[in-house]
Structure 1
Amino acid sequence: MGNIQVALLTVLMFFLLVSLHEWGHFYFARRAGILVREFAIGFGPKLFSIKRGETRYTLRLLPIGGFVRMAGEDPEVVEIKTGQTIAIRIKDNRVTRLYLDRLDERSDVLRGEIKAIDLEKHLYVTLDVDGDVERFDVHPAALLIARGQETQIAPLDRQFGQKPVGKRALAIFAGPVMNFLLAYVLFALYIVLQGVPVDNPTKILIAHVEAGKPAAAAGLEKGDWVKSINDTPIGADVQLFIDKIEASVGKPMNWIVERDGVDVPIKVTPDPATGKVGVVPTGEARKPGIGETIKFAGTSMVDMTERIFEGFRKLIFGEFKLDDLGGPVKTTQLTVEIAKQGFAQLTMWAGILSLYLGIFNLLPIPALDGSRLLFLGIEAIRGKPIDPNRESMVHFIGFAMLMLLMVVVTYNDIVGLVRH
C-alpha cells in the first residue's frame, strides 16, 4: 500500500470503530424517546458541526473516542428563573422560542417578566407583559436562545433519567455490543480474505515483504513459494523456516523460490542487528465455506477475548511496565505498520481493536459504560436511583483520571519515538 492509502485506511478504521460504538448509544436512545443533544467524534474543541433534526453532529480536535450527549444526563447549562425578563415567539398558540438576551434586537416577539415557568412537566410560562399577566403553553420542542446558541428544551419524558432502567441500560450497553458485532464481521472478512489452512499442507508462501528490509532488497515478493534454503527443502515446516534464518544472522543465504511456475534463486542476508529478513510466512490456504467462516470467526472472537483478559490480568498484577503500555500515538504507529502488510492484516487488527474497545468499555471504571451500567444495576436493586450529583461526580473523577492516564501514555509514546 502507498503512504496515502495507508493513512486514509488508518483514519477510516478509527472513525469506524468510534462511530459505530456511539451510533449504538444514539440509536437505542432515540428508540427509547430520549432527546440526543449531540453525537460527537473526538473530544475537545469543535472542528466541524452540523445540526440535523434534534441532534448536533460534531467532529472534535482530539481523536481519542467520542460521546453521545443525552438530555438529563448532566445539568442543563441554560437556566431561566422567575423575575427574569425574556422574549417569546408564539406559533399556533404555543411558545416555540424563548430569547434570553439581546431582547431589543428580536422582532415579532412578546417581551415580559417571568412570573412562573415550567419547561419539564407542565410546559408553560407565565409572563407579566406591561402589567398584564398571561399564561402561555410551551411547545415540547421549543428552543432556548442565549449567547447565539440554540438549546432545545427537554420535557421529563425526553430525559435519560426518566426512562425505565431497562431502556437506559440498553442505550448504554448498545455501544459495546456494536463493537462486538463489528469485530465478528471483521474476523469473518479476514478469514474470507486470508483463507483457511489446507489439510496436509506442503508449502510455505511469503504473505508479506517489508519494505527496506533484506528480503525486499534481495527481490523476494509476496506470493513466492519458498522451496529450499541453503539446499534444505522447507516443505510446510514454518519452524524450520524460522530456524534457518536465525542460524544465518549476518550470513548470506541461498533461497530457491517458485514464482509463476519458475524456480528463482534468491540470495538474502538476515539483518545482523535483528536477525530477521523482513518477511511474513504463511501456509497454504483455501477459500472457506459459509459454515467455516461463521465457525472460525467465533473461534477468533473467543481466543482474542481470552488474550485481552490475560493482558488485563498482567496489568492488574504489575507484570506490565509503563513502557509496555501504548496510547493513541503508539496505537496509530502500530496500525500504520500493520496496514502496510495489506488489507487483510488491517482487517484483523481492526477486529481486535473493536473487540478490545467493547470489552474495555464494559469494565466498571468510572466514566466508562460499565460503570454507568453498574449504577443502573444498583438502582434496579434499590428501587430508586443514586443521587445524580454524586453519580456525576464519580464519572467526572473517572474521566479526569482516564484523561490523565492518556496524557501519561501519550507522553511515553512520544518519548519512545524520539529515542528511536
Structure 2
Amino acid sequence: MGTIQVVFLTVLVFFVIVTIHEWGHYYFAKRAGILVREFAIGFGPKLFSLKRGETRFTLRLIPAGGFVRMAGEDPEIVEVQPGQTVAIRVKDNLVTRLYLDRLDERTGTIRGEVDSVDLEHKLSISLNVEGEVENYSVHPQALVIARGKETQIAPIDRHFGSKPIRKRAMAIFAGPMMNFILAFVLFGVYAQMVGVPLENPDKVLIGSVLEKAPASEVDLKKGDIIDSVNGVKIGADVAKMIDIIGKSPNKPVEMTIIREGQAQVVVVTPRPDEAGDGKVGITPSLPTRPATAVETVTRSAELMKSSTVFIFENLKMLVTGQFKLDDLGGPVRTAEVTSQIAKKGIAQLTSWTALLSLYLGIFNLLPVPALDGSRLLFLGLEGIRRRPLDPSKESMVHFVGFAMLMLLMLVVTYNDILRLVRGE
C-alpha cells in the first residue's frame, strides 16, 4: 500500500468516527427543533466553511475532535440593545434582517433608534423613526448582520434549554450512540472480510506481510501456504511455526511454501524483537469460509464485548494511576498506529476503526466535565431537582473541564512528538 493511500486512509478514519459522532448530535438536535448554528470537525481556526440552511459546516485546523454548537448553550454573540441605532429590512410585514453597522450603505431599509426589542419571546422590535415609534414583528429566522457576519436569531423555543429533558438527553447521547452503531457495523464488515475459521484446518496461510520486514525482502506473499520450516512439517500448528522462527534470531530459516499448487523453498533471516525472539514479519492465518448473516452478527457482538472489556481495563489503569506518560497516546500516536495498521490491509484497518469508534463513544460518556457524560449527568440532576441548574455555573464547569482536557492533550501530543524525534 502506497504512502499517499496510507495517509488518505488514516485521515479518513479520523474523519469518519468524528463526523458520525457529531452527526448524531446534529440529527437529534434538529429533530428536537433546536437551532444548530455550527457543525464543526476539529478545533481552532477555520480551514473550510460552508453554510447549508440554518447551519454552518466547518473544518478546523486542530484534528482533535469536533462539536455541534446549539442555540442557547452559550451566550448569543450578537445583541441588540435599546438606544442603539440600527437598520432593518422588512418583507411581508416581517423584519428579515437587522443591520448593526455600516448603516449608510444599507439600501431599502428602515433606520431608527431601538426603543424596545425582544428577539427570543415576543419576536418584536420598536424603532424611533424621526420622532415616531413604529412597531415591527420579527421573522423567526431573521438575520442580524454585524462586522460582515450573519447570525440567525434564536427564538426561545429553538434553544437547547427550552426542550424537554428527554429530548436534550437524546441530542447529547446520540453522539456516542452513533459511535457504538458504527463500531458494530464495522466489526460485522470485518467478520465478513476475514470469514470464519474452518473447524478442522489442515494448513497455515500467510495472512499479511509487513513492509520492510525480512519476509518482504524475500519471495513470501499473502496467501502462501507454509508447508514446513527448517524441514519440520507445520500442518495447522501456528504455535509450532512461531516457536521455530522465534528460536532463530539472526539465523537463516528455510521455509517451504506452496503457491498455486507448486512447492517453493525460501530462505529468510528472522530479526530479533525487543524480547530477543526471531520475527520474519508475517501474520499467519488459518483457512476460512464466508460468514453467514447470523455468524456475522454474533461475531460482531463478541468483538464489541471483548473490545469494551479491553477499553474499560485500560481506563481503570488510567484512573488508578497504573500508567506512565509514555503509555498515553494523543492524536499523533493514534495517527501513527493507524497508519501502521493501514499498511496491513483494509480488513485490519476496518477492525481498528471499529475499536476507535467504540473507544470514542465510551470515553465521551465518562462523567468528565466538557464530555457528553458530564452533560448527561447535569441533565439527570436537573430531572431530580425538577428545575434547571445555574447555566453560568454549568458552563464554567464545562469550560474548566475542556481547558484541562486540552492541556492534557497538549502534554501528550508534545510527548508523542518527542518520541518520534527520538525514533522510539
Specify the TM-score bucket, using the shorter chain as the normaliser: over 0.9
Paired residues in the alignment total: 420
1:40 deviates by: 0.5
Mapping 1:33-52, distance limit 5 Å: 33-52=33-52
My pick for the range that moved more, 138-147 or 8-17, is 8-17
Match of residue 282 from structure 2: 279
Alignment partner of 1:117: what SS? strand
- Give per-residue Cα distances to partners, 1:105-125, cap 9 Å, x unaligned: 111111111111100000000
* 1:351 aligned residue: 354
1:12 to partner: Cα distance: 1.3
Following the alignment from structure 1 to structure 2, what is the Cα–Cα distance between the partners of residues 284 and 397? 53
Summarize the Cα distance change of 1:180–1:273 in structure 2 as closer, same or farther, 3 Å threshold.
Answer: closer
Task: Identify the residue that residue 373 of structure 1 maps to in structure 2.
Answer: 376
Equivalent-residue separation in structure 2 for 1:216 and 1:138 (angstroms): 70
Whole-Å separation in 1 of the counterparts to 2:324 and 2:172: 32
Q: Which amino acid aligns with 2:385?
A: R
Indicate the residue corresponding to 1:101 in structure 2: 101
Q: Please identify, of 381-390 and 268-277, the stretch whose mean Cα deviation from structure 2 is larger.
A: 268-277
RMSD: 0.8
- 2:382 counterpart of 1:340: no
Give 1:47 deviation, angstroms.
0.5
Partner SS for 1:188:
helix
Q: Give 2:9's aligned residue.
A: 9
C-alpha separation between the residues in 2 aligned to 1:318 and 1:390? Answer: 29
Tell me by how many angstroms 1:272 deviates. 4.0
Is 1:183 the counterpart of 2:183 in the alignment? yes
| 1:123 and 2:123 matched | yes
Question: Displacement, 1:319?
Answer: 1.7
SS of equivalent residue, structure 2 residue 79: coil
Counterparts of 2:236 and 2:322, CA distance in 1: 36
SS of corresponding position for 1:358: helix
What's the CA shift string for 1:297-330, capped at 9, x where partnerless? 0010001000000001111122211001111111
Residue 70 (structure 2) aligns with: 70
Q: CA deviation digits over 1:144-165, x for unaligned, max 9?
A: 0000000000000000000000
1:308 to 308, 311, 320: 311
Between the aligned partners of 2:227 and 2:145, the Cα distance in structure 1 is 74
Equivalents in 2 of 1:408, 1:350: separation in Å? 25
Shift of 1:4: 1.4
Residue equivalent to 2:200? 200
Following superposition, the deviation at residue 96 of structure 1 comes to: 0.6
Query: How far apart are the structure 2 equivalents of 1:73 and 1:203?
Result: 60
Q: What is the alpha-carbon distance in structure 2 between the residues aligned to residue 391 and residue 318 of structure 1?
A: 28
Q: Are the structure 2 counterparts of residues 187 and 152 from structure 1 closer, same or farther at C-alpha, using a change threshold of 3 Å?
A: same
Quick one: which amino acid aligns to residue 67 of structure 2?
A: F
Which amino acid counterpart does residue 234 of structure 2 have in structure 1? I
Which amino acid in the other structure matches residue 93 of structure 2?
A: N
State the TM-score, normalized to the length of structure 1: 0.99
Q: Distance in 2 between matches of 1:6 and 1:341?
A: 10
**Which whole-Å CA distance do the structure 2 matches of 1:7 and 1:323 have between them?**
24
For 1:328 and 1:13, how far apart are their aligned partners in 2? 12
Structure 1 partner of 2:389 = 386
For 2:48 and 2:250, the matched residues in 1 are separated by: 53
Corresponding residue number in structure 2 for 1:242: 242
Distance apart, 1:273 and its partner CA:
5.5
SS at match of 1:364: coil
Match of residue 142 from structure 1: 142
Q: Distance in 2 between matches of 1:114 and 1:318?
A: 58
Aligned-pair CA distance for 1:186: 0.4
AA aligned opposite 2:59: L
In structure 1, C-alpha distance between the alignment counterparts of 2:326 and 2:282, rounded to whole Å? 26
Separation in 2 of the partners of 1:176 and 1:213?
38
**CA displacement at 1:9 relative to structure 2:** 1.4
CA distance in 2, matches of 1:47, 1:216: 40
Q: Structure 2: which amino acid aligns with 1:4?
A: I
Encode CA deviations 1:321-380: one digit per residue, 9 max, x unaligned: 100111111100100010000000000000000000000000011101000000000001
Deviation of the 1:139 alpha carbon: 0.5
CA distance in 2, matches of 1:220, 1:212: 13
- Alpha-carbon distance in structure 2 between the residues aligned to 1:330 and 1:50: 30
CA deviations 1:52-109 (Å, max 9, x no partner) are: 1100010111111111000000010111111111111100001110001111111111
Aligned mates of 1:19, 1:51 — CA distance in 2: 17
Structure 2 counterparts to residues 246-261 of structure 1, below 5 A:
246-261=246-261
- Matches of 1:20 and 1:323 in 2, distance apart? 29
Over 6 Å off, 4+ runs: none
Could you tell which deviates more after superposition, 309-318 or 168-177?
309-318
1:320 is matched with 323
Q: What corresponds to 1:88 in structure 2? A: 88
**How far is the alpha carbon of 1:8 from its aligned partner?**
1.3
Q: Spell out, residue by residue over 1:245-267, the C-alpha distance to the aligned partner (whole angstroms, 9 max, x if none).
A: 11101111111111111111011
Aligned match of 1:396: 399
User: Helix, strand or coil for the counterpart of 2:271?
Assistant: coil
Q: 1:81 aligns to what SS in structure 2? A: coil
- 1:166-217: CA deviations, max 9, x gaps? 0000000000000000000100000101111110212111111112111111
- Residue identity opposite 2:162 in structure 1: Q
Distance 2:244 2:421 in 1: 34
User: Match of 2:364?
Assistant: 361
Q: Which residue identity lines up with residue 189 of structure 1 in the other structure?
A: V
CA distance in 2 between partners of 1:72 and 1:266 (Å): 68
